[in-house]
Structures are given as C-alpha cells and as structure tokens.
Amino acid sequence: MTTITENNILPLVTDEQKQAEETWRKSIPAQVFLNYFFAINYHIQENDDATGGLQHLPFFRAHQAELTEADVQAISKLLQACWSTEYALRATAELGDEEYLRNALHWTFPQAYHTILSGLQAFLYTAGVRSNNPSLIRREVGRLVVRNAYPRPVSFYAAGAYGDFSIHRLPLAGYKPGLHIAGKEIEAQAQIGQFLRTTRKMKAQITRQQVQANPNTAIRSQKTGKVLDKWTASHWQQITWRLGYTTIFDLLGRLRISQTSREIERYVEAEIDFKLFHQSLLNIVSYLNGVHESYIAKAVGLERYQQLVQELPKHLQNSFIAERLRTRIEPLLTGQEPQQQMGIAA
C-alpha cells in the first residue's frame, strides 16, 4: 500500500497568485477608465475620414463672427492658456518613463481637461457665448454637438431621463462592452456607450441631490408635503431638462479628479498601460483642440490667425500649434488637400 505524503502536495493557489489576483481586481476601475478613453481615441481614428470632416458641416461653413481687436485679444488669451496646458501635457507624455507617467496622472488628468476647456471657451467666444460658468458652457456645447457643429467622430451624445437613456450617433453602443482594450469598432462604441450612460447616471443623481436639498425646488409628497426620498420614473422625468445633453465634453469632465482624493490613488496604484493612457488622452486633446482652432481661424480670418500663431511665446513657436495650422487648418480654409488626418496627434 502506497502512503501519500501530504507535505508534498502543492497548494492550488500560491500567495503570488493571490497577490496578482488582488492587484488585478484593484486595477479594474482604472482599466475600465483606460478602456473608455482608448475607445474614444479608437473611434476618432476609425471615423476621421474624408466624409466625416468639418468641411462637410453646414454649421462650420456658415460660421462667422463680428470681432473687434479686443475680442481677438480675448480669444488669443484663451488660446494661449489652451496651448500652454497642451504643451505641458505633451512634455509629460514625451518623457516616456512608465513610473513617471503613473505618478503624473495627478496633473495630466486635469491638464487634459483644462486644455480642451480653454480651447472650447475660445470657440464659444466666436459663437457669442462669453462666460466662465461651467454649467452654461456645458449646456451650450451640448446644444452645439446636437446641432452637428462637431465632426462625426465626436458628435455622439446621450439624452433622456434616468432609467430611460438613449444614445445617439453610436449605432453599436447597445452591445455589451468587455474588460479589454477595443480592437474593433463595435467594441469601441460599446465602451463609449457605457461611458455615456454611467456619466449621465452620475449627473442625474447629483442633480437629484441638488434639487431635493433646496426647499424651493424639492419634489414633495402630495399627501404629506414632505420631501420625497424615493422617486418614480415620472419624478426623474421632471428633472431631465436640467441634465441637458451628455457629450464627449462630459466624459472629459470625468478627468477632473482632485489630487487629494482617493480615486486618483486607485489609478496610480493600478497595473495598467500608462503610456497608452497618456497617448490616448493626447490624441483626443489634439483632435478636439484642432476642431476648435479651425472654427476660430475661420471666425477671425486665416491671416489674422496665422499672425496670432507667429506671435506666440518662444517655447510655443514651431511646435504642434504651427503643425496643426499647416496640416489641418490652412488646407481646410483654403480648399487644399489636407496633408494628414485630424486624428493624428499633431
């Protein structure tokens, strides 16, 4: 009879495997966040073709503005804030060290958001919207997205009441997203659709808290007059108008994470591809800033815009700004063939 020695039996799961599984589990929120922004970048790259550009949009062709020199200077100031922040974001990405990029999320997240916000404000200025109010800016850009002011790759949006959201201009958004980086357009749209829904859900919940915290706006019981704790679908519908539309700019707003919050630490401590994260952010930034710069150049006139670029501080001269002007804006406004696609991080 053979005797089995228990000491020789290896455990089914080692401590190293347990640690790896725990690290993976903790990394899921950061991986999902990376998936979302990679999916947006993927969708831009896949759909940035000859038929999806600004030159085909009636809104762009009709865009014009009566601007004084003081107006142009105000726009220039916003643009310089946009470009200086993008310059800093690019400088971080170009360092390329994985560990540095990991810890750089403390500032690259807000940098990506603020460079796009400043460019957006400069564009809105030419459209007659001159405000620093975040709610007003969000509402106005939502309307512009719905009115097809933006190229096809970034014209998607969500609407509807809590529990009844609808996704527009993403025909594949109804598919179930996976936990992996998108490798097909169907996967990218599924992840963007989920990002839109979760972001709109958060906005609806925050709006409900604000409404119910104000005695003048709170929805109350018709029987008791007390502020309602539980809502039905009809109650959610009553605040839908406050939500506006949920667009790519709301998704980018998710980058506004305080460096003192626990959430940013979850991303820093995660095991994800930080280089890919930064490259995805940079491509999205470059694309959207290029769209806004094109509108601004059309509004102020190409020659005046070229002058603004030539007068930039030394560190911004002969940089990505001049490159976008040469490869995107000048061909667009002069009718020449563009030398490269807008999705490339120029």
Tell me, what's the pLDDT at 342? 44
Q: In what order do the strands lie in the sheet with 166-168?
A: 166-168, 157-159, 246-247
Q: Which two tokens stand for residue 108?
A: 């690259």
How far is 309 from 321, CA to CA, in rounded Å? 7
Tell me, what's the pLDDT at 19? 57
Tell me, what's the pLDDT at 257? 67
Domain ranges of the chain: 27-315
Q: What is the pLDDT of residues 171-205, one digit of tens each?
A: 999 999 988 999 999 999 999 999 999 999 999 99
Q: Which amino acid is at 40?
A: I
How far is 292 from 301, CA to CA, in rounded Å? 14
Question: Do residues 153 and 343 make contact, with C-beta atoms less than 8 angstroms apart?
Answer: yes
How far is 336 from 28, CA to CA, in rounded Å? 46
Instruction: Mark out the alpha helices in the chain (DSSP H runs).
Output: 15-47, 58-62, 69-95, 98-103, 105-126, 134-146, 185-213, 233-238, 240-243, 248-253, 262-268, 274-300, 302-310, 320-324, 330-334
Tell me, what's the pLDDT at 312? 95
Low-confidence ranges of the chain (pLDDT < 70): 1-26, 50-52, 257-263, 337-346
pTM of the model: 0.88
Tell me, what's the pLDDT at 341? 43
Instruction: Mark out the alpha helices in 214-310 (DSSP H runs).
Output: 233-238, 240-243, 248-253, 262-268, 274-300, 302-310
